[in-house]
């Protein structure tokens, strides 16, 4: 397979396997966030937006011949229902993501993220992949700072669940604002970052997709 007309999450993950790269190394190679790679594993049908399509083209075209050959074998096996792709998709369910519900008085911090399939944008709580060997609490604080410029502290764990859309294991933490201006520090993945009144969060995020303990916390009187 010498040409990929449209990259999907599945083909992107096959390229990652062919290059024998971890999520972090593959993200670095492409110049994107690790959570984007995690999204491809969680939803192989997603179609990355145009600029990431170009990054994948460049990575594929610059790959060693052996890696391109491995990719062709993996892609052929994927089409016939065999090979490593099926295993890769199953192991994606083990991915863990830290979700930060950051409160500042009567406001909550939200991130406006570009959809991977270029269909639009979505508002979410700050989130990041929990890397192996890293505590979820540490990842929550670090990813929030990296993504929004906001320093926060863990107040309590709200619980965990398999996300109803992505199937990724999400761990939710209630966080207290400490310092920093809310800034879009990841312009590749995000459109905007802002504080939203707690009683208006469902105008930005569909109520049915909000983790119930998080929603209950936001609805509490301050």
Instruction: Return per-residue pLDDT of the chain as tens, 222 residues.
Output: 456 888 988 899 999 999 999 888 898 999 998 888 888 888 788 888 888 999 999 999 999 988 888 888 888 766 544 444 444 444 434 578 899 999 999 999 999 987 654 445 689 999 988 887 889 999 999 999 999 999 999 999 999 988 776 667 889 999 999 999 999 988 777 889 999 999 999 999 988 889 999 999 998 744
Tokens matching residue 54 = 């170009």
Q: Which domain holds residue 46?
A: 9-92
CB atoms within 10 A of CB 153: 13
Distances (CA, A) of 160 to 95, 97, 99, 143, 213: 13, 10, 9, 17, 10
Q: Are residues 102 and 197 in the same domain?
A: yes
Do the beta carbons of residue 56 and residue 12 sit within 8 Å?
yes
Q: Is 4 part of a structural domain of the chain?
A: no
- What pLDDT sits at residue 50? 85
Question: Which residue reads 């009683």 in tokens?
Answer: 199
- What pLDDT sits at residue 19? 92
Can you tell me the distance from the alpha carbon of 175 to that of 179, in angstroms, rounded to the nearest whole number?
12
Q: How many folded domains does the chain comprise?
A: 2
Q: Is 3 part of a structural domain of the chain?
A: no
Q: Are residues 86 and 100 in the same domain?
A: no
Q: Are residues 111 and 122 in the same domain?
A: yes
Q: Are residues 110 and 212 in the same domain?
A: yes
Distances (CA, A) of 1 to 5, 14, 15, 60: 11, 12, 12, 11
HSE-CB at 98 with a 13 A cutoff on CA atoms is 27
């Amino acid at each position: 397979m010498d040409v990929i007309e449209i990259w999907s999450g599945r083909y992107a993950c096959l390229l990652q396997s062919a290059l024998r790269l971890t999520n972090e190394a593959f993200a670095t190679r492409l110049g994107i966030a690790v959570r984007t790679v995690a999204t491809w594993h969680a939803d192989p049908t997603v179609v990355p937006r145009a600029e990431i399509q170009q990054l994948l083209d460049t990575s594929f075209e610059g790959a060693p011949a052996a890696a391109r050959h491995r990719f062709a074998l993996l892609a052929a096996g994927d089409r016939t229902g065999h090979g490593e792709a099926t295993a890769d998709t199953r192991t994606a369910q083990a991915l863990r993501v830290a979700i930060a519900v950051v409160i500042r008085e009567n406001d909550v911090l939200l991130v406006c993220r570009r959809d991977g399939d270029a269909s639009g944008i979505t508002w979410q709580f700050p989130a990041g992949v929990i890397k192996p060997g890293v505590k979820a609490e540490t990842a929550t604080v670090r990813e929030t700072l990296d993504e929004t410029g906001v320093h926060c502290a863990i107040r309590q764990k709200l619980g965990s669940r398999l996300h109803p859309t992505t199937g990724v294991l999400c761990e939710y933490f209630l966080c207290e604002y400490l310092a920093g201006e809310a800034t879009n520090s990841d312009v590749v993945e995000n459109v905007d970052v802002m504080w939203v009144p707690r009683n208006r969060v469902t105008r930005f995020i569909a109520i049915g997709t909000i983790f119930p303990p998080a929603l209950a916390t936001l609805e509490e009187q301050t």
